[in-house]
Amino acid sequence: MIKELSDLGKTLRSQKADDEWVHDALKPEPINVELIITSDGSFQKFNLIEKKQTISEAITAKKGKARLLLDKAEEVLCYGGEKSKSKHELFLKKLDAYQSLPELAPVISFYNSNKTKGADMALQSYVEAIPEEKNRKGNIGFRIQSEGIRIHEKPEVLQKIIDNYETAQKELMEGSKKKCSICGQAKYPVEDIPHGMIKRVPSGQSSGCALVSYNDTAFESYALQGNENSSICTNCAKTYVEGLNWLLSAGNEIVIRTKKGKDKTSYRYTNRKNFGSDTAIVFWTRGNKALSEIDQLEAPNPDDVNKLLESVSLGKEKDSRYVEADQFYSCTLSGSAARIAVRDWIETSLFDFRKSIAQWFKDIAIMEYDSSLKALKTRYVGLYNLARSSQNVTNDKDVSLSRTASYLWNAAIKKTVPPLWLLTKVLQRSRMDEYGVTAERASLIKLILNRNNKGGGFMVTEKIEEGLKPVAYVCGQIFAKLESIQFAALGISSIRERYFTYAMTLPAAAFGRLFNLHSKHFTKLKNEKPGLAINMDKELQELCKDVDIKSFPATFSLEEQGQFAIGYYHQRQRQFNTSNKN
């Protein structure tokens, strides 16, 4: 996974224009305040500029380090008194290392020969000049009053940073000839330094999380220290961090129209999906191509799904753009304080990826009555809505929704079998929730039943079954029929609320009671609407022909409960259709 992330980082670097290129020794950083001095190092004023980006020395970790000429007030001014002293000293030590640069002369006077009019005065004026506490938290950079460029941005200064970096790398390489476990080369050193922070990981620290880190000697071996244990060279470390940061943030602003007809802008990620509040999935291909199939998983459009199914089933994919040997990757991440938990890693060919998605749509397809078309039509439910249908979602912090969505993502992309506990969950929601067996739930039940069906069992199709059907399925149909007869007779239907769970789990006992109730409903209906009563009874008798109603099983297994729910769902969709036609 790290190798693929690093390769992605390298691809992104190669795609950058020359003027966008930033050397490994440098890094963009925000700057908040300019400290204006004269060329003899006298303090002039502070200039609040509020978080502009600037280029400066790249330092791999903040702790125990100071950045050349650009840092916080503690480092630059010794702001905060005694407790900032060690930070300030680090800053001065860094300046010392670069003192041969003529560009630094004014700053060196500011701290040394001209200290009273320089650094001391700056510290005295600081709080008054920057009254708001929050503005005192950003970086401060030096600028000579008469110049338009900040000192740390001068080409000579940047070049010196690069030279020092490269010399240090060479020295490290001479010290050890260790091969990198990612690129297999000994071109860059393997060092015990942080690899860089991964930003925007859900539930992670806002300052970023580490993908690889060793915080305890228990994780170390062969006398290696910290990140040396990972054997990742500095170049691969940088590129995997860049690759992963890009995946987590890439996207663009789009304008969406709200239900009230207002336009609002929203950020659309191109390579990331958020599942719940604590999980994100990032995905990409080796060639870094856009993948329309992923959008289909989230919000399927029946026409596009049909095109996909057709091209895969006809073997047309041979002519398609996927014939090239591209690979698909995805990893599922959660933040865990300063770390990242990798929940899943998927690597598959683009060819298999596409076949899996096509199979996914076949498995989740379900017929639904569409009241605007007044007809049954195939519905494809979005992946996240499928996951949601199995949950009692009371708040966004509920992690079981994101876990379920992650399982389904794996099932969609790798054609894996969803676990049976998910069937328990969705059946529970079908029984407890006022909307009962919705299209989303029926679709999820169908997927789980069919993928768990190993060898010759009953396969659920998207619409009502004809021919040989399992008893549980027919029982579900009969239940739907009894419910509609009750509704025709009384104008209400309460049997689902009261008997659905009972009928689904203990059919023999439940249907005894249900048929008793039914005879009362039927008598009433026959007196009031004899025509309707005869028709409905005929339909019920048709269904009862398929089973022996005198000897229903005492219990239904979990899978049978699933079949019951599907039979019930299919029958109801058919009834909506016929009753509206009549």
CA distance 563 to 549: 17
Return all residues near 195 (Cβ < 8 A) that are at least 6 apart.
60, 210, 211, 212, 213, 227, 230, 232, 237, 238, 240, 241
Query: How many residues bind Zn ion, per CB under 5 A?
Result: 5
> ∠ CA(486), CA(489), CA(495), 5° rounding?
20
Residue number with CB closer to Zn ion (187 or 513): 187
Q: Which of residues 154-213 bind Zn ion (CB under 5 A)?
A: 180, 182-183
Q: Find the shortest distance in angstroms from Cβ 440 to Zn ion.
A: 46
Draw the binding track, 320-359, toward Zn ion (x: CB under 5 A; -: no contact). Answer: ----------------------------------------
Return all residues near 87 (Cβ < 8 A) that are at least 6 apart.
66, 72, 74, 75, 78
CB count in 10 Å sphere of residue 180: 21
Q: Find the shortest distance in angstroms from Cβ 238 to Zn ion.
A: 10
Contact between residue 44 and residue 277 where contact means Cβ atoms under 8 Å apart: no
Q: Find the shortest distance in angstroms from Cβ 100 to Zn ion.
A: 33
Contact between residue 69 and residue 156 where contact means Cβ atoms under 8 Å apart: no
Q: Find the shortest distance in angstroms from Cβ 271 to Zn ion.
A: 23
Q: Find the shortest distance in angstroms from Cβ 185 to Zn ion.
A: 6
Bridging pattern class, strands 26-37 and 140-144: parallel
Contact between residue 5 and residue 243 where contact means Cβ atoms under 8 Å apart: yes
Q: Find the shortest distance in angstroms from Cβ 188 to Zn ion.
A: 6
Query: Side chain identity at 382, as an amino acid letter?
Result: G
Residue number with CB closer to Zn ion (96 or 192): 192
Residue 292's nearest CA partner among 279, 307, 280, 281 is 307
Residue number with CB closer to Zn ion (186 or 393): 186
Residue number with CB closer to Zn ion (10 or 67): 10
Draw the binding track, 419-438, toward Zn ion (x: CB under 5 A; -: no contact). Answer: --------------------
Q: Find the shortest distance in angstroms from Cβ 235 to Zn ion.
A: 5
Question: Residue 2, interface with Zn ion (CB under 5 A)?
Answer: no
Residue number with CB closer to Zn ion (13 or 524): 13
3-state secondary structure at position 452:
helix
Q: Which of residues 214-253 bind Zn ion (CB under 5 A)?
A: 233, 236
Residue 465's nearest CA partner among 576, 580, 570, 564 is 570
Residue number with CB closer to Zn ion (73 or 183): 183
Residue 169's nearest CA partner among 269, 41, 14, 58 is 58
Cβ-closest residue to Zn ion?
Answer: 180
Residue number with CB closer to Zn ion (187 or 451): 187
Q: Find the shortest distance in angstroms from Cβ 359 to Zn ion.
A: 37
Q: Which of residues 479-498 bind Zn ion (CB under 5 A)?
A: none
CA atoms within 13 A on the CB side of 517: 20
Residue number with CB closer to Zn ion (190 or 547): 190
Q: Find the shortest distance in angstroms from Cβ 53 to Zn ion.
A: 28
Residue number with CB closer to Zn ion (115 or 187): 187
Q: Find the shortest distance in angstroms from Cβ 122 to Zn ion.
A: 43
- Alpha-carbon dihedral 376, 377, 381, 382, rounded to 10 degrees: -140
3-state secondary structure at position 455:
coil
CA distance 124 to 126: 6
Residue number with CB closer to Zn ion (233 or 366): 233
CA distance 106 to 124: 19
Binding site for Zn ion (CB under 5 A): 180, 182-183, 233, 236
